Amino acid sequence: GAVVSQHPSWVICKSGTSVKIECRSLDFQATTMFWYRQFPKQSLMLMATSNEGSKATYEQGVEKDKFLINHASLTLSTLTVTSAHPEDSSFYICSAIPANGLENNEQFFGPGTRLTVL
Amino acid sequence: SQQGEEDPQALSIQEGENATMNCSYKTSINNLQWYRQNSGRGLVHLILIRSNEREKHSGRLRVTLDTSKKSSSLLITASRAADTASYFCATDPPDSNYQLIWGAGTKLIIKP
């Protein structure tokens, strides 16, 4: 099956710094990627939809100036958490939709990035 | 984008027993999917059932779908310690542009 990677897998940073998380589709092109946040023992919460070559669409309550999303190519989307604070500590997961459509409507998920803000 | 409910929230059973988890949703759907997530890890796609299907099997997994009740169940037979994980259902509503609606998840613990 198609593979999606995320980098880094985990990151610890000081409060006030910015952190960039990459989501890459390794063997397919993805016109759409989704970014999720997951707090401990909770379900996934969609943050934004990232479309290649256009601005991301953010879900209600998600600050677009704090969570910057760039989808500059068909294989890479980045999420930058700006001026991170401890409450931003979470597990961030991306998923990718193949440019040639979905087989069985299956999205492909990255392994997630654990962000800890001290 | 969370609208589904899953029960139980947590389930602890002995190895070898069957585990049943339920998922309810609120809107019409194209399909319903089940995922597994090991602690602190990514999601693994288990099985997809389309809205016109009522039951589907994959190995030790059996999924049912009742669109009239807007509910689905996931049965894991002959459970193993390695099945310990959180299980999530996700629905794919029409006109959602592939955005999935997630259930709250069931934490399954298989005791040796």
Cα distance between residue B8 and residue B17, in whole Å: 16
pLDDT higher than 90, residue B35: yes
| Interface mutation target, options B5, B23, B52, B100, chain A, most CBs of A under 10 Å | B100
- Retrieve residue A47's tokens: 């943050």
Mean pLDDT for chain A overall: 91
What is the 8-class DSSP label of residue A59?
P
What is the 8-class DSSP label of residue B2?
B
Task: Say yes or no: B2 contacts chain A, CB-CB below 8 A.
Answer: yes
pLDDT higher than 70, residue A116: yes
Count CB pairs under 8 A between chains A and B. Answer: 53
Judging contacts by C-beta atoms under 8 Å, the chain A residues touching residue B97 are: 32, 49
pLDDT at A102: 66
- Which residues of B, range 52-71, sit inside 8 Å of A by Cβ? none
Pick the closest to residue A83 from A70, A68, A66 (CA basis). Answer: A66
